[in-house]
Amino acid sequence: MAFLGLFCLLVLHSVALGAVLPDETLADLSVNTYNRLRATAEDENIFFSPLSIALAMGMMELGAQGSTQKEIRHSMGYDSLKSGEEFSFLEDFSNMLAAKESQYVMKIANSLFVQNGFHINEEFLQMLKKYFHAEVNHVDFSHNVAVADRINQWVENNTSNMLKGLVSPRDFDATTHLVLVNALYFKGNWKSQFRPENTRTFSFTKDDESEIQIPMMYQQGEFYYGEFSDGSNEAGGIYQVLEIPYEGEDLSMMLVLSRQEVPLATLEPLVKAQLIEEWARSVKKQKVEVYLPRFTVEQEVDLKDVLKALGITEIFIKNANLTALSDSKEIFLSKAIHKAFLEVNEEGSEAAAASGMIAISRMAVLYPQVIVDHPFFFLIRSRRTGTILFLGRVMHPETLNTSGHDFEEL
Ligand SMILES: *[C@@H]1O[C@H](CO)[C@@H](O)[C@H](O)[C@H]1NC(C)=O
Ligand SMILES: *[C@@H]1O[C@H](CO)[C@@H](O)[C@H](O)[C@H]1NC(C)=O
Ligand SMILES: *[C@@H]1O[C@H](CO)[C@@H](O)[C@H](O)[C@H]1NC(C)=O
Ligand SMILES: *[C@@H]1O[C@H](CO)[C@@H](O)[C@H](O)[C@H]1NC(C)=O
């Protein structure tokens, strides 16, 4: 019997990208995945990359045939595309995001680690290189400590040393035949940065009404802003949407904030791909006072559980049809992991900001104020195509660590 492991990992910094996949594809995948995570992680932070999931699943799909492939296409939302067209989209998408001329840094790397002597179909390998620019590494999974080291080294190098210790030796044994890895790294600066001396300690009220102290960044500037109604009368039923662009304005972070008294959970059921598009269409550039926590979010997702919930099940069972990958009839996917990390700070990027203590008063409101001092929903999207690259929510920003990142324990 053979096992196949899949790791999909993503590291990003203050983030974003641009894209060409049909919008609704990744938007639906994003929202469905979010809802799944929401159901299993009540009151927890959520953060993941739909892009990374789509790339990892794309590599798997190349190896699938018959009903296994059909199920993947359907669940990923590719039914309306011509057969195989999704691979060109994913390739274009990666090329465009990682384009050298952009004002952010984006690195996308894919790799196949395969057991020495295990036969992989030549055509699969060629397509993996053509569409995903994947590297092929031969390893011996029975030396599980050495393999884990090697994969971790690869991941570390391809994430600018941000992510360490992704896999552990116990993930592999003599039955492991191959592992596919996607690594993603992003770093971008805000178009309008926050001044570190304006950051100060502020209370953040969690949905259970307990308060914690967090570093709150502040600036007044031109952003895309809108107010929307959730259709209820609770606290006026109004919620705010703020879009903060990164340098170059191709990518932005969109924040969705309910009124202080209203738990985020009352907004979440409204979130649909079409609503996200409506937010994007409706926000208007205007002066806004922004209070945004400096925060990090990290999450490890059992992607197998998510994919199954999305309807991708056959690839995980013994009669998975992966005949495009290998003639071996025995191969199926045993694990799928997704990890993601985000840090938002004053620059929009890595630099550790010293917190000056300049007081900020909640003075008379000249402009709309967005005070992100309670749980919020956010996404990072391409302003050109609307494609969602990252999606998450922050329930407890106390997981924030200002002293750099140590992924040793991830
Ligand atoms: C896999 O799918 C292909 C294409 O539909 C089919 O020809 C083949 O018989 C299937 N193989 C298995 C083992 O199910
Ligand atoms: C990823 O890391 C490996 C190992 O260090 C390196 O050989 C490879 O060139 C990197 N890939 C990319 C796309 O940077
Ligand atoms: C990391 O990858 C780069 C290519 O992307 C390569 O030049 C470098 O040697 C690699 N470093 C290590 C430690 O493997
Ligand atoms: C923050 O960093 C400190 C020291 O590096 C560590 O002890 C602590 O566990 C970290 N907190 C979180 C929530 O990661």
Closest ligand 2 atom to the C-alpha of 158?
1
Q: What's the full length of the chain, in residues?
A: 410
Q: What is the average pLDDT value for the chain, to the nearest integer?
A: 80
154 Cα: distance to centroid of ligand 2 (angstroms) = 6
Please tell me if the CB atom of residue 399 comes closer than 6 angstroms to any atom of ligand 4: yes
Backbone angles phi, psi at 332, to 5 degrees: -155, 170
Q: Are strands 135-139 and 105-115 parallel, antiparallel or unpaired?
A: parallel
62 CA to centre of ligand 1 in angstroms: 14
State if residue 403 touches ligand 4 by the CB under 6 angstroms criterion: yes
Of 1-5, 256-260, 286-290, the one with minimum mean pLDDT is 1-5
Which ligand ends up closest to the CA of 152? 2
Contact between 346 and 356 under an 8 Å Cβ cutoff? The reply is no
Burial of 409: CB neighbours in 10 Å, binned 0-12, 13-18, 19+: exposed
Whether 224 has a pLDDT exceeding 70, the answer reads yes
- Relative to beta strand 211-229, strand 46-48 is unpaired
Neighbour-count burial of 221, counting CB atoms closer than 10 A to its CB (0-12 exposed, 13-18 middle, 19+ buried)? middle
What are the structural domain ranges in the chain? 44-188+297-343, 196-294+346-351+365-394
Question: Regarding beta strands 135-139 and 46-48, do their DSSP bridges make them parallel or antiparallel, or are they unpaired?
Answer: unpaired
**Burial letters for 357-391: b for 16+ Cβ neighbours within 10 Å, e otherwise?**
eeeeeeeeeeebebbbbbbbbbbbbbbebbbbbbb
pTM of the model: 0.84
Of all residues in the chain, the percent with pLDDT exceeding 90 is 31
How far does residue 135's CA lie from ligand 3's centre (Å)?
13
Q: Cα separation of 297 and 241, whole Å?
A: 20
Instruction: Check pLDDT > 80 for residue 164.
Output: no
Report CA(48)–ligand 2 centroid distance (Å). 23
* pLDDT at residue 363 is higher than 60: no
Check if 409 has its Cβ closer than 6 Å to any atom of ligand 4.
Answer: no
Q: Is 323 in the pocket of ligand 1 (CB under 6 A)?
A: yes
pLDDT at 240: 93
Distance between Cα 30 and ligand 3 center (Å): 32
Per CATH, which fold does 44-188+297-343 belong to? Answer: Antithrombin; Chain I, domain 2 (3.30.497)
Cα→Cα distances 371→218, 332, 354, Å: 9, 48, 21
For ligand 4, say whether the CB of 361 is within 6 Å of any of its atoms. no
Confirm if 72 and 315 have CB atoms less than 8 A apart: yes
State residue 26's pLDDT score. Answer: 76
Q: How does residue 150 score in pLDDT terms, banded at 50, 70 and 90? A: very high
405 CA → ligand 4 middle, Å: 9
Choose one of 157, 159, 161, 162 to mutate for the ligand 2 pocket test, by most ligand atoms within 8 angstroms of C-beta: 157
The pLDDT, as a whole number, for residue 402 is 45
Atom of ligand 4 nearest to the CA of 399: 13
45 lines ligand 1 (CB under 6 A): no
> Which residue among 11, 112, 136, 158 is best mutated to probe the pocket of ligand 2, counting the most ligand atoms within 8 A of its Cβ?
158
Q: Which residues, 6+ apart, have CB-to-CB distance to 377 below 8 Å?
A: 255, 256, 257, 264, 267, 268, 271, 392, 393
* Per-residue model confidence as pLDDT tens digits over 45-73: 888 888 888 888 899 899 999 999 999 99
Q: Is 83 helix (H, G, I), strand (E, B) or coil?
A: coil
69 CA: nearest ligand 1 atom:
2
| CA atoms within 13 A of residue 317's CA, in its CB half-sphere | 8
Ligand 1 proximity of 65 Cβ (cutoff 6 Å): yes
Q: How confident is the model at residue 349 (pLDDT cuts 50, 70, 90)?
A: very low
- Quote the ligand 2 centre to 29 CA distance (angstroms): 28
Nearest in space to 34 (alpha carbons), one of 355, 282, 276: 276
In three-state secondary structure terms, 265 is helix
Give the C-alpha separation, 34 to 36, whole Å. 5
Q: Average of pLDDT values for 7-28?
A: 44
- The first and second tokens of residue 278, run together, are 């409506």
Q: Which two tokens stand for residue 193?
A: 């940065």
29: region left, alpha or beta (phi > 0 left; psi from -120 to 50 alpha): alpha
> Mean pLDDT throughout 18-36?
72
> Out of 103-117, 146-160, 162-176, 336-350, which region has the weakest mean confidence (pLDDT)?
336-350
Pick the CATH number of 196-294+346-351+365-394 from 2.30.39.10, 3.40.50.720, 3.30.1450.10, 1.10.150.80: 2.30.39.10
User: Taking a C-beta distance cutoff of 8 angstroms, is the pair 375, 210 a contact?
Assistant: no
Q: In this structure, how many other beta carbons lie within 10 angstroms of the beta carbon of residue 14?
A: 23
Which amino acid is present at 166?
A: L
Question: Coil, strand, or helix at residue 2?
Answer: strand
Nearest CA to ligand 4 atom 2: 401
